[in-house]
Structure 1
Amino acid sequence: MINISGNALDDWYEQGVERNDCLLTVNCCGYQKLMTIDLNRKREQGRVDYQLIYLVGGKGTFCLDHQSQEVHKGQIVVYAPNEPQNYTYFAKDGTEAYWIHFTGHGVQDYLQQYGLLDASIQTVGLVDEVGELFKKIIHELNMKKPFNEHVTTAYLLTLLALLGRRLQRTENQGKDDHHSDIHRIMEIMHENYSQNLVVSELAKTCNLSLYRFIHKFKDVTGTTPGKYVTNIRINEAKKMLSETSLHVKEVASIVGYDNPLYFSRVFCQAVGIPPSRYKDQVEL
C-alpha cells in the first residue's frame, strides 16, 4: 500500500482535533493506494472533526445509513463530527483515495453552501485540479513553512468550492451542454478581445447560422456579441487608465481600437465621460 500523509500537528490524534477558534483549518490530509493489502477503517464513535474522502481509482465499500454501499472513483463521502466511520478498501479493486480531516466553526456553513452534505455519496467525476490541491495541502503540512496554516486553509476552501461547482454542473448537465459552445466563444472573446473578432466567423465556430448564433449568445449573456466584446474592452481600458501612466491613445491601441477618436466616443457612450476626463478623475 502506498500511503502519503501530512499532519498540522506533530502528533497523530485518532479521535481528531476540534477547533472553534478559527473559521476553517486543516488537521491532516493524505493519499492511499491499495496494491497488495486490504484496508479497513472502523471508528464507531467517528471523530470530532470532519472528513472528506475522494476516490480517484477503484472503489470502496462504505457502511452508510446502516447499509453497505459501494463508492466508486469520481465520488466523494463526507463524514460529520461523531458520525460512525466504517469502510473497507480491497487491494483487488485497485482503490486510490485522497482524504482530509478539517475543523472550524465555519465548516458546516461552507459544506451546506456547496451542497456537500446533500447526500451520503456524491459524484463529482475525476477533477485534476482537485487532486493537485490535495497534493499541495499534503506538501504544506509536511514542509511546515511560514503561514502554512493559512495556505492549507486557502487550498481547502478552493477544493470545497471546486467540488461544489462540479456538483452544480452535474445537476445542470443538460443546460451546460446546451450552452457549451457559447461558453467557449465567451472564453475566446476574453482572451482575444483586442483583436478583430468577426461575429460571422464566431458563428461558424459554433456551427450556427449568424442569426441563430446572435440569438443564442444573447440568451446566455443578456447582450449581443458586439456589445459583449465592447464591455470587455471598456473594462480593461478603465483598469489601464486607473492603474498605469499610459496615454489614452496607447490604451485605445492596446484594447483593440486603431482610431483613438472612435475609442473615445465608444468609451464616453459606455462610461458617460471621455477617457481623458476619466483618467484625470482617478488620478485626483
Structure 2
Amino acid sequence: MIDISGHLREYRREIGFSNYDVPLEVNCCGQQSFLTRDFSKSRPNGRLDYQLIYITRGCGYFNFSGKEQVVNAGSIVLYRPGEPQLYSYSFKDKTSAYWIHFTGSDAEKILNRFDIHSGYIGNNIQIKDIFQEIIKELQLKKTGYSIVATADLEKMLALINRSMELEASEDRNDLVLERLIIQLNQSYNNAWSVTSMARYCNLSEGYFSHYFKEKMGVSPMKYLANLRIEKAKFLLSESDISVSNIAASLGFSDVLYFSRIFKKAVGESPTAFRNALN
C-alpha cells in the first residue's frame, strides 16, 4: 500500500479531532493506493471530524445503512461526525483514493452552501491537484500553512459543487447515454443488466431507466434485446453459422430461449426466418 499524508498536529487519534473555535480547519489529508493487499476501515461510531474521500482509480466497497455499495472511480463519499464509517478496498481493483478530515464551527454551513454530498464528480485534475497541495502544506508546515490548507479546502468544495452540477446536467447525461449506446453496439453479447448500464453511466438505476426510455423510446433491456435480434437477423441472412452458434455469439447461453425471444420479436423461429430467405 502506498500511503502519503500530512497532518495538522504532531500526534494522531483514530477518533479524529474537533475544533469549534475556528470556522474551518483541516486536520489531515492524504492519498492511498492499494496495490498489494486489501484494506478495510471500521469505525462504527465514526469520528469527531468530517471525512471526504475521492476515489480516483478502481473502486471501494462502502456499507451504507447495512447495505454494501460499490463506489466507482470518479466518486466522492462524505462522512459527517459520528456517522459510522465501514468501507474496504481490494488490491485486485488497483484502487487509489484521496481523503481529507476537517472540522470547524462553520463546516456544516459550508458543506450546505456548496451542496456537498456523496456522488459522482468524474475525473477532475484540479481537485486532485488541490489534494496534493493540501498534503504538501501539512507536511512542510511553512508559515500560515493551516490558513492555506483551509483556503484550499474551500476552493476544493467549490470545484466539487461545480463538477456535480456538470455531471447532473442534461448535456452530460446525453453524452454518457451516447457512450453507452456505442458500447452496447460493440459489446451486445456481454451480460448487460440495468444495474451495469446505470453503473456505466454513473446514474442511479431508477433515474437511468426513466432517462433511457425518455430518450430512446424503449426500456434499456428492450433496446438491448432489439439490438441482439437485429444482429441475429443479419447473421441468419448473411452467413451459414448455425443457430446455436449465433445464439452463443449474441450472449445467449440457451439456444431454446434465444429461439423463443427471436420468434416473439420477428414472428417466426430463426430457422424459419433463414429458410424464408432462400
Q: Name the SS for the 1:137 alignment partner.
A: helix
* Paired amino acid for 1:112: N
* Paired amino acid for 1:17: F
Provide the C-alpha distance between the structure 1 equivalents of 2:91 and 2:171, rounded to a whole number of angstroms.
36
**How far is 1:146 from its partner?**
0.6
Counterpart of 1:11? Answer: 11
1:51 matches 2:37:
no
Equivalent of residue 139 in structure 2, options 132, 139, 142: 142
Q: Is the 8 A contact 2:122 2:167 kept in 1?
A: no
Provide the C-alpha distance between the structure 2 equivalents of 1:109 and 1:157, rounded to a whole number of angstroms.
12
Provide the C-alpha distance between the structure 2 equivalents of 1:148 and 1:32, rounded to a whole number of angstroms.
22
1:42-121 equivalences in 2 (<5 Å):
42-117=42-117, 121=118
Structure 1 unaligned residues grouped into runs of 5+ = 179-284
Q: Name the SS for the 2:3 alignment partner.
A: strand
Provide the C-alpha distance between the structure 2 equivalents of 1:67 and 1:176, rounded to a whole number of angstroms.
27
Structure 2 unaligned residues grouped into runs of 5+ = 176-278
Q: Is the 8 A contact 2:59 2:73 kept in 1?
A: yes
**How far is 1:177 from its partner?**
8.6
Q: Is the 8 A contact 1:59 1:93 kept in 2?
A: yes
Counterpart of 2:127? Answer: 130
Number of residues of Structure 1 aligned to a counterpart in Structure 2: 175
Provide the C-alpha distance between the structure 2 equivalents of 1:169 and 1:126, rounded to a whole number of angstroms.
12
Counterpart of 1:153? Answer: 150
Alpha-carbon deviations, 1:30-69, whole Å to 9, x = none?
A: 0000001110000011000000000000001000122100
Q: What's the TM-score once normalised by structure 1's chain length?
A: 0.60
**How far is 1:169 from its partner?**
1.4
Say what the alpha-carbon RMSD is for the aligned residues: 1.6
Q: Name the SS for the 1:23 alignment partner.
A: coil
1:1-284 equivalences in 2 (<5 Å):
1-117=1-117, 121-174=118-171
Alpha-carbon deviations, 1:14-45, whole Å to 9, x = none?
A: 10100101111100000000001110000011
Taking structure 1 as reference, are residues 92 and 172 closer, same or farther at Cα in structure 2, changes over 3 Å only? same
Q: Is the 8 A contact 1:38 1:89 kept in 2?
A: yes
Q: Is the 8 A contact 2:60 2:70 kept in 1?
A: yes
Q: Name the SS for the 2:158 alignment partner.
A: helix
Provide the C-alpha distance between the structure 1 equivalents of 2:122 and 2:89, rounded to a whole number of angstroms.
19
Q: Name the SS for the 1:22 alignment partner.
A: coil
Alpha-carbon deviations, 1:70-117, whole Å to 9, x = none?
A: 011000000000101000000000110000000001111111121213
Q: Name the SS for the 1:92 alignment partner.
A: helix
Taking structure 1 as reference, are residues 85 and 175 closer, same or farther at Cα in structure 2, changes over 3 Å only? closer
- Identical-residue share of aligned pairs (%): 40
Taking structure 1 as reference, are residues 174 and 35 closer, same or farther at Cα in structure 2, changes over 3 Å only? same
Q: Is the 8 A contact 2:5 2:30 kept in 1?
A: yes
Q: Name the SS for the 2:29 alignment partner.
A: strand
Provide the C-alpha distance between the structure 1 equivalents of 2:39 and 2:20, rounded to a whole number of angstroms.
32
Provide the C-alpha distance between the structure 2 equivalents of 1:159 and 1:68, rounded to a whole number of angstroms.
28
Q: Is the 8 A contact 1:115 1:167 kept in 2?
A: no
Structure 1: 4+ residue segments shifted above 6 A:
175-178
* Paired amino acid for 2:125: D
Provide the C-alpha distance between the structure 1 equivalents of 2:173 and 2:39, rounded to a whole number of angstroms.
38
Provide the C-alpha distance between the structure 1 equivalents of 2:82 and 2:116, rounded to a whole number of angstroms.
17
Q: What's the TM-score once normalised by structure 2's chain length?
A: 0.61
